[in-house]
Structure 1
Amino acid sequence: MDMVEKTEKMIKEHKLLHRGQLCIVGVSGGADSIALLHILCNLRQGMGFEILAVHVHHGLRKNEADRDAVFVENICKEKDIPFVLCHVDVQSYVLEHKVSTEEGARILRYRAFAEVAGQYSTERKVCIAVAHHCNDQAETLLMNLCRGSGLRGLTGMHLQRGNIIRPLLFFCRREIEEYLKAHQISYISDSTNASLDYTRNRVRRSILPMLEAEVNIASIKHISAAAGQLGEVFDYIQVQARKHYEQVVVREDKKVGLSCEKVKELPLFLQGEVIRLLLEEAMDGLRDISSIHIEGLKDMFSKETGSHMDLPQGYFAHRDYCKLWIIHKSQKISKEKENGRFECRRFLYTQNMEIPTQEDVKWFDEEAFEGEVCFRTRKTGDYIEIAGGKHKSIKALMIDEKIPALIRDKILLVADGSHIVWVVGYRISQAYKIKSSTTYVREIKYIKGDTKDVVYH
């Protein structure tokens, strides 16, 4: 069975193409894309689909790029294949978005494919065929593994994802080159593919050949197969993560967050996937999100109320009692006090009593109070006593605690005049802490969501 027959069998088994469908083929002019174009051209009549070739001129390698475009256009004329040439400005995109040249070219290339597909999708079903093969798959897995991308990055490329198909994904580069040689099909080479300045080229030209020569001749096939299997595992995990996400997500007042207690019950790996789903919903995708952000957000499930963490794209995470919110810095946050009430009681203290550690219940030395306690938000002149008997302004405290400016006027305080006894959700004043000399305890409990009345027992 030759390569054309194998590709036809694989397309039918995985239902990549259908009769009457338009297949947009990304053609650079290199060996892989020319082989793909040639194979699909041989299959189009028998399988009943049509082909449209798209070549993207990246505005790089000026003379060489012009040559590539002319080469692909001439091949399409010979084989009676409709041809579209798209020009993109990679250099400007790279400067504006601060990405690598390789990444910028990839983004703009797929954007061009999608724009062409959009012009025809109203008339019929359209797919986009690209020429990735198992060497590309192995390269991607090894690069992502070395970069520490985790399971998500080890899944490699999918045979089909959305309207993108990869009919050559199960073939290796050697098979493609042998096919082109056997059929005397010419192609062109991109001079940058020989440069070791690019990480992918170093993996392609040095590491993979060494693995084949020194470890196993089928190393590339095995690595590519492993990527496919990991992809199937990861897809299953995503289905489970989505189910759990809908059970723990909270949507209120145009905000989206997670129930901390419910998320903490999940396995750690699923916690990370649930966080990613939250960020995808709350933000503009996962751009600039790294494992550091995911691990930081995991830690916030166990932090105090009011804790926050800066995120890319102008967002921050805010821990609000039992919830973790993702909020944009431009988003308006209510500065009204939380609805709730304080309950107070007084009792005799003995040394064997265990001081509570909950966020909403605090014990204070009754004799430390100098006036009538009140419950309010901050005022000018408010201060708290810190270690060593020093005073710190509440403004400075909130800055040090990295409390977003938008919510500082919302934080509830327990005040003894200007001396702040308890910044609810954060810390209490050293001056009011339980000591060995404490005789009576004043317990103050905050109950969120109840009336604002103070109840004394």
Structure 2
Amino acid sequence: MLNKFALRVKRYVEINHLLSANGRYLVALSGGSDSVALLRVMIDLGYCVEAMHCNFHLRGEESDRDEKFCENLCNEQNVPFHRVHFDTKSYASLHKVSIEMAARELRYDYFEKLRKDLSADAILVAHHRDDSVETLLINLIRGTGLHGLQGISSRNGYIIRPLLDVSRNDIIDYLNSIQQNYVTDSSNNVDDVTRNKIRLNIIPLLNQINPSASADIAKTANRIRQAACIFDEAIKKCIDEVVVKKTSSCTYIDIDRLKSMISSEYVLYSIIHDYSFTPSQIEQISENLDAPSGKIWTSKSHNLLIDRGMIIINSINVDDNQNKIMKIPETGNYYYNENLEFRFSVSEIDSDFKPSKISEVVTLDADKVNFPLVIRHIKNADRFVPFGMNGSKLLSDFLTDNKLTLFDKQKQLVIEDNEGNIVWVVGLRTDNRFKIIKGSSHCLKIEMRRHI
């Protein structure tokens, strides 16, 4: 006969479709009340479980005590027991993270490796309703969006949390009812980290104001979680409307469409927060949608440019070719990089000759072009005589007239001859001085081929 606690967990698992009757599950067992209750209730409910324990060696003899307790408990319950030892302090120092973060990274890396090794279906962890409330409050204090107010989710990849519908008091009552002891982590009783401060100080104060505060906050988080599903669907439609183009490296957002949204800043946030822009940067960008072209913001991974009614987001890549200069000593095939090939050939001009009319191929007067040629990126002071014109023009002005963005300009290649004259702004325009005219006898053909 299942007791009230087990029935409640069973119902939560079934409603949320968390576990399979034929599944194999790994229980994260620390020895504390929460994880012990999780192991025991999973056994009560008839699931196939194995336990895994991490000894972080942070509390001296107490850490070893916890490990021994877990081993003995698993022996008593006939549950397979897996353990691992970590030098957590050295890991934290090496990776320059907090002890708390180091323990988290080590723990979950081990859990996932063991899950794969044992072909287990999922990893069960003992987060409960009060943990979820603490997480919501932490996010609220630090500043968060709608999703940060949902608390802890019942499933995250292979991590499953079957106890989110029960409180810490429910867990203690359950353990007492089955006469199951557990160990206590003394560090949990010291308010030295944010979560402990909230657990030991803030939540008791909230419960003085409203005895059912934790339960009511958890209900609110559940309502927010349901509302977030509707919100996400609406935001997706807005994003589809304002993002007019997306490539492997660039995202283009129509500013007028963005401004027409009910909450343009939140739509913008939903698009670009994954590009490492901070909330304060996103606020600045939202306030400067009418800024003149050329305004740029930079995150750790991306540049964002306002350009002629568009927000253009470009990934920051360390481009080994950005300063590359390739010399072309003679005709032949040359790979500027693995994706871009140039072919140079010379032929006589006969009566059947027709100049190229496609942007990837140009035909020039070979007798006017002096080898060796050079392929390079543009420079600030570059000038050339655009085909069809007589006077020279700054290349930067020409590119602006052709509506190239700053990002496009940074990628633009030119081919110049041995005299330093630009003969071709690659893919856009040749120099008028090298055009084939009546009386030209040889044609230099340059073909650009992209390999994707």
Aligning the two structures, in what range does the TM-score lie when normalised by the shorter sequence? Answer: 0.5 to 0.7
Matched, 1:21 2:23: yes
Question: Which position in structure 2 is the counterpart of 1:271?
Answer: 268
Q: Equivalences for 1:3-402 in 2 at 5 Å?
A: 3-44=5-46, 49-121=47-119, 126-213=121-208, 215-247=209-241, 248=243, 250-252=245-247, 254-261=248-255, 262-266=257-261, 267-268=263-264, 269-277=266-274, 279=275, 290-299=278-287, 301-312=289-300, 314-321=301-308, 322-331=310-319, 374-377=393-396
| Shift of residue 271, structure 1, vs aligned partner | 2.1
Contact 1:128 1:164 in 2 (8 A): yes
The verdict on how the C-alpha distance between 1:226 and 1:452 changes in structure 2, with shifts beyond 3 A counting, is farther
Output the CA distance in 2 between the equivalents of 1:235 and 1:68: 41
Contact 1:24 1:53 in 2 (8 A): yes
- Paired amino acid for 2:9: T
The verdict on how the C-alpha distance between 1:211 and 1:176 changes in structure 2, with shifts beyond 3 A counting, is same
Match of 2:49, SS state, is strand
Taking structure 2 as the reference length, the TM-score comes to: 0.67
- Paired amino acid for 2:316: H
Output the CA distance in 2 between the equivalents of 1:33 and 1:330: 46
Contact 2:302 2:313 in 1 (8 A): no
The verdict on how the C-alpha distance between 1:245 and 1:453 changes in structure 2, with shifts beyond 3 A counting, is farther
- Paired amino acid for 1:304: P
Output the CA distance in 1 between the equivalents of 2:260 and 2:74: 58
Match of 2:37, SS state, is helix
The verdict on how the C-alpha distance between 1:77 and 1:233 changes in structure 2, with shifts beyond 3 A counting, is same
Deviates most, 175-184 or 98-107: 98-107
Contact 1:242 1:274 in 2 (8 A): no
The verdict on how the C-alpha distance between 1:250 and 1:54 changes in structure 2, with shifts beyond 3 A counting, is farther
Contact 1:308 1:318 in 2 (8 A): yes
The verdict on how the C-alpha distance between 1:94 and 1:240 changes in structure 2, with shifts beyond 3 A counting, is farther
The verdict on how the C-alpha distance between 1:297 and 1:115 changes in structure 2, with shifts beyond 3 A counting, is farther
Deviates most, 320-329 or 16-25: 320-329
The verdict on how the C-alpha distance between 1:23 and 1:330 changes in structure 2, with shifts beyond 3 A counting, is same
Residues 45-85 of structure 1, C-alpha deviation per residue, up to 9 Å, x if partnerless?
Answer: xxxx3101111222422322222112111111111111111
Output the CA distance in 1 between the equivalents of 2:428 and 2:396: 17
Output the CA distance in 2 between the equivalents of 1:235 and 1:90: 38
Match of 1:377, SS state, is helix
Contact 1:335 1:409 in 2 (8 A): no
- Paired amino acid for 2:102: G
Output the CA distance in 2 between the equivalents of 1:219 and 1:185: 28
Residues 112-155 of structure 1, C-alpha deviation per residue, up to 9 Å, x if partnerless?
Answer: 2222212233xx6x122111111111111111111112323211
The verdict on how the C-alpha distance between 1:26 and 1:330 changes in structure 2, with shifts beyond 3 A counting, is same
Match of 2:45, SS state, is helix
- Paired amino acid for 1:37: L
Question: Which position in structure 2 is the counterpart of 1:343?
Answer: none
| Shift of residue 320, structure 1, vs aligned partner | 4.6
- Paired amino acid for 2:146: L
How high is the sequence identity, in percent, across the aligned residues? 29
The verdict on how the C-alpha distance between 1:229 and 1:105 changes in structure 2, with shifts beyond 3 A counting, is farther
Residues 20-64 of structure 1, C-alpha deviation per residue, up to 9 Å, x if partnerless?
Answer: 1111111111011101111001112xxxx3101111222422322
The verdict on how the C-alpha distance between 1:158 and 1:141 changes in structure 2, with shifts beyond 3 A counting, is same
The verdict on how the C-alpha distance between 1:5 and 1:211 changes in structure 2, with shifts beyond 3 A counting, is same
Output the CA distance in 2 between the equivalents of 1:91 and 1:320: 48
Output the CA distance in 1 between the equivalents of 2:235 and 2:429: 37
Which runs of 4 or more aligned residues in structure 1 lie more than 4 Å from their structure 2 counterparts after TM superposition? 332-336, 406-411, 449-454
Output the CA distance in 2 between the equivalents of 1:59 and 1:304: 57
Superposed CA RMSD in Å reads 3.3
Output the CA distance in 2 between the equivalents of 1:309 and 1:2: 56
| Shift of residue 237, structure 1, vs aligned partner | 2.5
Output the CA distance in 2 between the equivalents of 1:137 and 1:75: 27
| Shift of residue 196, structure 1, vs aligned partner | 1.4
Contact 2:9 2:166 in 1 (8 A): no
Match of 1:142, SS state, is helix
Contact 2:239 2:267 in 1 (8 A): no
- Paired amino acid for 1:324: I
Q: Which has the larger radius of gyration?
A: 2
Output the CA distance in 1 between the equivalents of 2:39 and 2:131: 18
Contact 1:263 1:271 in 2 (8 A): yes
Output the CA distance in 2 between the equivalents of 1:450 and 1:303: 28
Contact 1:52 1:83 in 2 (8 A): yes
- Equivalenced residue count is 341
Match of 1:330, SS state, is coil
Contact 1:195 1:201 in 2 (8 A): yes
Contact 2:268 2:282 in 1 (8 A): no
Output the CA distance in 1 between the equivalents of 2:323 and 2:307: 14
Unpaired segments of 5 or more residues in structure 2? 325-358, 360-390, 398-405, 414-426, 433-452
